[in-house]
Amino acid sequence: MSLEAARTYLASPHLEPELRAELEPLVAAAAAGDAAAGVEVNDRFFEPLAFGTGGLRGIMAAGLRRMNKPNVRRTTLALAQVAKARAPQAKTALVGFDTRLQSDVFAREAARVLAAQGYQVYLGTRPLPTPFLCYAMRKLGTACGIILTASHNPKEYNGYKAYDDKGAQVVAPWDAEIEAAMAQFPLVPEPPAAEGDARIQPIPAELEEGYLALGLSLMTRPEGFRPAKVLYTPFHGTGIAFVPELFKRAGIPLEICAAQAVQDGTFPTAPRPNPEEIAAYKAPLADAERLGADVVLANDPDADRIGLVAKRNGTWELMSGNDLAALTLDYLCTLKRLKGTMVTTVVTSDLLPVVGRHHGLEVMWTLTGFKNIAICMNLIEKRGETYAFSAEESFGMQLSDQMRDKDGVLASLVVAEMVGYYKSKGMGPYEAVEALKARIGAYHNRLVNLEDPRPGGAVRFAEAMARIRQAGLTAFAGERVVSWEDFQTGLWHGEGREETIVDSPDRREVATPIDRSNVLKFRLESGAFAAFRPSGTEPKLKVYLQSRTDEALLDRMETEARQLLGL
């Protein structure tokens, strides 16, 4: 079937010559019985790219499961069709791109398709951060938006984030309708006619000014503030377009890692440009040591995530997303007196909502991913409530209600100011976290990334999840399980009863059920938890662990989780 699909793909008169030249010898080898070629052809054609937590994402090459111009055209045609039905009054769209290889080419192709479909299209003229593009979508009132980015994946990858008429990444029903519409179009759609190109124009420059002003408005400007020495790295990405200017206008000095300030889609100094991995910080840490910096702040290439590295007992350590989010929330609540509702995810540390409640905030929970947090932000707006803050453990937070995605750019300014605030009190970031936990309570968290690359790995993870779900757990890591949540059925189990899992359990009168997902979460008598979340498409599974006592419990929990999953 995959070989047949590949031949159909090659038969299209609209396939780009470079893609044809790459694919033809591979298909010929597979047809001649080359096993490796057959596996590769199958991987490229057995199914289309699907909308995951971060949109479409794949290796750049020819094929149905790869990122390329035909897939960009096909997806954009489907997005336009759904947007016309879902947001018929809006006549504009926005397309942006990051520093990755071919991102600008794919963005131009997407913009031309939208223009040919009748939209007035705003197209970025240079690589721009995802959060700014999301801000621009809402200010322009677009029917839909597209950002060509693969976030922090290696250089071989690119991706396609699709946004709805509220400037949020598409979720149900948009995502399913887009995938259904894609099936109606040829595997290799015809390129758009040039007549529509006149409807493409740059993103208005005044929106950049508005975005920078928004960032300045988020500052707390504490009395007696003295800036810390901050070194910034954009990991060869888009953050360099805004972060230095933002700090300049704020009057906060900023050192920049010159080696990683160059916008380069090959990521020469950080092959995995992920702020969640300390290995990516090799170049900036060398600069930080030489310059005597207090902290290193990092954005991933599309600048929607933020990472912080600081010294702990004399050694540079990467702060967890859980701790950084909780510390930032406590700082903003203390100095800006935040009010309203905050949003967190079901796999994020309990430290974050406990801090929020400590300061009088209401709390909403949702599934992993800022596209789900955006749903909650829309609900908060619909209820007439005030949005306060949102974050998740994977280094993402949103400090403003003006966007519907995470923002590492504006967060970098607030975090830098926070580091200076604590420095003026004689504390580094880690000392500040310990002081927070001394007030609020101890929370130790760990993310365990599991992979089973053997054939059938994804199936084995699915079977393991089914076994755990069917058997249930009464004890885990030597502790009694007091309750568990099955997000696939939408039910909480505990105290001999069942309840629907809702986004606002403290206010069930206004709460709505959380969407279904293949996630299991078990709470233990000490306040610990273990959550299991498999990938829907890859042989990968994430286990999120929390201990209220010590790291030794995390070790026991990880060991037992691996045993449960057969690893």
Going residue by residue through the chain, which has 567 residues, state the pLDDT in tens, using 9 for 90 and above: 589 999 999 999 999 999 999 999 999 999 999 999 999 999 999 888 877 666 789 999 999 999 999 999 999 999 999 999 999 999 999 999 999 999 999 999 999 999 999 999 999 999 999 999 999 999 999 999 999 999 888 899 999 999 999 999 999 999 999 999 999 999 999 999 999 999 999 999 999 999 999 999 999 999 888 999 999 999 999 999 999 999 999 999 999 999 999 999 999 999 899 999 999 999 999 999 999 999 999 999 999 999 999 999 999 999 999 999 999 999 999 999 999 999 999 999 999 999 999 999 999 999 999 999 999 999 999 999 999 999 999 999 999 999 999 999 999 999 999 999 999 999 999 999 999 999 999 999 999 998 877 766 778 888 889 888 887 789 999 999 999 999 999 999 998 899 999 999 999 999 999 999 999 999 999 999 999 999 866 778 999 999 999 999 999 999 999 988 876
| Tokens (6 digits) for 155 | 């250089």
Task: Give me the catalytic one of 2, 103, 151, 504.
Answer: 151
Residue 345 vs residues 306, 342, 361, 370: alpha-carbon distances, Å: 17, 11, 15, 9
pLDDT of the residue at 1: 59
169 CB-side CA count, 13 A: 21
CA distance 263 to 268: 10
The single-letter code of the amino acid at 379 is: L
151 carries an active-site annotation = yes
pLDDT value at residue 53: 60
Q: Phi/psi of residue 537, each to 5°? A: -130, -15
Residues 6+ apart with CB under 8 A from 378: 166, 168, 404
DSSP, collapsed to helix, strand or coil, labels residue 295 as strand
- Quote the CA–CA distance of 390 and 514 in Å, as a whole number: 16
Q: In the sheet where 362-366 sits, what is the strand order?
A: 362-366, 341-345, 387-392, 396-398
Gap between the Cα atoms of 348 and 81, Å rounded? 36
* DSSP assigned state of 400: -
Residue 296 backbone dihedrals phi, psi, to 5 degrees: -115, 130
Cα 285 to chain center, whole Å?
24
The amino acid that residue 215 corresponds to is: G
Q: Over the range 488-501, which residues count as b (16 or more CB within 10 Å of their CB) and which as e? A: eebebbeeeeeeeb
| Tokens read off for 432 | 């500040």
How far, in Å, CA of 268 to CA of 259, rounded? 9
pLDDT of 406 reads 97
Instruction: Work out the number of other CB atoms within 10 angstroms of the CB of residue 390.
Output: 29
SS3 state at 84: helix
> Which CA distances in Å does 396 have to 91, 182, 300, 344, 373?
31, 30, 10, 11, 11
* Rounded Cα distance, 407 and 180, in Å: 31
DSSP states along 270-284: -SS--TT-GGGGHHH
Peptide bond into 173 cis (omega under 30): yes
The alpha-helical segments, DSSP class H, found in 151-194 are 174-182
How is 220-258 classified by DSSP, letter by letter? ---TT-----EEEE-TTSGGGGTHHHHHHHHT---EE-H
Beta-strand runs (E) in 346-439: 362-366, 387-392, 396-398
The set of long-range contacts for 30-34, using a CB threshold of 8 Å and a minimum separation of 24, is 30/3, 30/6, 31/3
Confirm if 257 and 452 have CB atoms less than 8 A apart. Answer: no
CA distance 317 to 3: 48
